Amino acid sequence: MNVRPHPSGAGALTHQYLTFVLGGEPFAIGILAVKEIIEYTSVTEVPLMPAFLRGVINLRGSVVPVIDLSVRFGRPAGAISRRTCIVIIETQLSGERRDIGVIVDSVNAVLEFQAADIAPPPAFGANIRADFIQGMAKVDGRFVILLDVDHVLALHELDQAVEACA
């Protein structure tokens, strides 16, 4: 998570997040986890992988597993449109730095939230697992779910799938 002094000079810390849409709902992930954003490209399916693992892509000679966040959250697979993107996230799996692609419906913008404006995850009521949520921030009168990338992507099942693709 990127933490730096707020331009107002008030000494408040801000956190930068990449915001995106998934199933019509706004989500965000810490910008430091984002390596790059690419246009959706054909994903090669890998047999016997969990349903949320769409397959792999070739990213400049590297095999990168791609997960469908909608399926990871227990929803139906997202429809692919011209705005669909793959966000490449650098994460720690099995003690190694790995790139993982996540399919999102569309990418919005990088926003800064002051730490004081980020509410803790709700105890109930969210339509995804509470451990996937780092916090909640309000944008234009609507809550944005700030995802905890380490929890969303940290799964023994995902670890095994990524190892099988490598």
Q: State the pLDDT at residue 57.
A: 95
Task: Report how far residue 41's alpha carbon sits from residue 52's, in angstroms, rounded to the nearest whole number.
Answer: 17
Indicate the domain borders of the chain. Answer: 13-165
Higher pLDDT among residues 110 and 124, named by residue: 110
Cβ atoms of 98 and 56 closer than 8 Å: no
Give the mean model confidence (pLDDT) for residues 11-29.
87
pTM: 0.80
Instruction: Select 13-165's CATH number: 3.40.50.720, 3.20.20.10, 2.40.50.180, 3.10.310.30.
Output: 2.40.50.180
Higher pLDDT among residues 36 and 128, named by residue: 36
pLDDT higher than threshold 70 for residue 153: yes
Alpha-helix residue ranges (DSSP H) falling in 28-143: 69-72
Q: State the pLDDT at residue 40.
A: 93
